[in-house]
Amino acid sequence: MKKETVIVVSAGAAVGLAAIFLMLLGNPANMGFCIACFLRDIAGACGLHNAAKVQYVRPEIIGLVLGALAMSLATREFRARAGSAPAVRFVLGGFVMIGALAFLGCPLRMVLRLGGGDLNALVGLIGFTIGICIGIVFLKKGFTLGRSYEAKAVEGGVLPIVMAVLLILVLAVPALFNFSEEGPGSKHAPFFIALVLALIVGALAQKSRLCMVGGIRDAIMLKDVHLLIGFIAIFVVVLIGNLITDNFHLGFAMQPIAHSSHLWNLLGMMLTGWGSVLLGGCPLRQLILAGTGNGDSAVTVFGMIVGAAMAHNFGLAGNADSLNDAKELVVGGISTYGKVAVVLGLIVMLVVGLMNLPKEEAT
């Protein structure tokens, strides 16, 4: 256990350092890594949505998957498997993304935002924890999406192959993709530096089993906090980094790419937490698992990409706080359609949870 704790703390510290460097090198503030935001940017770059400000092929996503692949091959942990309710996982992945984009960040970015002084992320953390607790209730009652089965190597390699092809295409034929000229998508660290850092983080995340949902879930269910310590390490490193670089700004209003509509911050992350428990891991963990041969996680990632596209095509994503011409605060949040989507997502989680209980529990 001590060795595992050292590994996960080291991985968390490395993630925090990488996040600080990526922000200093050009990534948006409090967004050294954000699985939800970066998958959204890739969806836009590939033409799946037309929100011009969030379109860029993020090398961080490519690096996370390929880094996890490399580590799993090196440690002989790559194992192709699939077949655990793929269609349901696709839908859950889409709603997890809708919840995250309502909040404007995945669980990892939530921690990074906390480390930058964004108190809206604290509201998100409360909602996230509530969602995990609801998911735990279902786990204790026997919830399962069914077992996965051994599969051919090509099945387990689908997402790494897709990411490798994406990398080749963006380097060889960049004109195929859309790239933002303003907004968050136009802010990014140098491509190859981001790729290398993500490769390292992906390898470490695979080795340490880093997962925000798993950390909180295990702390509550099993009184095992070693995964949670990894995210505490991320927070501490990012907090120190932001204080040193004068990028720590405590408060709710006008935080970078964030809104202070508290109810929807809470409910958005509640949806993300609940869905992630049912899926067996947070968005970061799904990427890492897909890199190690888990075809079910690959399906989940594709669901998240489609969810991101839908969030922007149908106006479901959150809007950041802003100032009007009179320099008065205009609180952001989500549209009426976005609110309906979040509530619908919570209903879907309930239905999926109930439908996948043992028969004696479901009745």
pLDDT value at residue 97: 98
Looking at residue 204, its pLDDT comes to 96
Q: What is the pLDDT of residue 3?
A: 83
Dig out the tokens for 278 from the structure: 């049912």
Q: Assign 322 to helix, strand or coil.
A: strand
Distance between CA atoms of 113 and 252, rounded to whole angstroms?
11
Locate tokens 């994503």: which residue? 317
- In our burial notation (b when 16+ CB lie closer than 10 A, e otherwise), range 211-250 reads bbbbbbbbbeeeeeebbbbbbebbbebbbebbeeeebbee
Question: Residue 4: its pLDDT value, please?
Answer: 85
Residue 278: how many other CB atoms lie within 10 Å: 26
CA-based R_g, the chain, Å: 19
| Averaged pLDDT score across all residues of the chain | 96
pLDDT tens digits for range 231-250: 999 999 999 999 999 999 99
Which residues, in sequence order, are CB contacts of 260 under 8 Å at separation 6+? 120, 252, 253, 321, 331, 332
Contact call for residues 235 and 248 (beta carbons, < 8 A): no
Q: How far apart are CA 268 and CA 284, in angstroms?
A: 17
pLDDT attached to residue 354: 98
Q: What is the pLDDT of residues 280-324, one digit of tens each?
A: 999 999 999 999 999 999 999 999 999 999 999 999 999 999 999
Name the residue among 222, 282, 229, 253 with its Cα closest to residue 96: 282
Total residues belonging to the chain: 363
pLDDT band at 361 (very low <50, low <70, confident <90, very high): low
% residues pLDDT > 90 (the chain): 96
Q: At 109, which amino acid appears? A: R
- pLDDT higher than threshold 70 for residue 362: no
Q: What is the pLDDT of residue 87?
A: 97
Return the pLDDT at 2: 81
Reported as a single tens digit per residue, the pLDDT across 123-133 is 999 999 999 99
Tell whether the model's pLDDT for residue 363 goes beyond 80: no
Give first-to-last CA distance, the chain, whole Å: 40
Beta strands in the chain (DSSP E): 81-82, 149-150, 322-323, 329-330
Say yes or no to pLDDT of 360 above 80: no
pLDDT value, residue 36: 97
**Range in 23-32, 157-166, 352-361 the model is least confident about:** 352-361
With beta carbons less than 8 A apart as the criterion, state whether 42 and 108 touch: no
In this predicted structure, what is the pLDDT of residue 1? 58
User: Using one digit for the tens of pLDDT, what is the confidence trace for 175-220?
Assistant: 999 999 999 999 999 999 999 999 999 999 999 999 999 999 999 9
pLDDT of residue 327: 87
- pLDDT above 80 for 174: yes
Residue 40 has pLDDT above 60, yes or no: yes
Kindly report the pTM of this predicted structure: 0.96
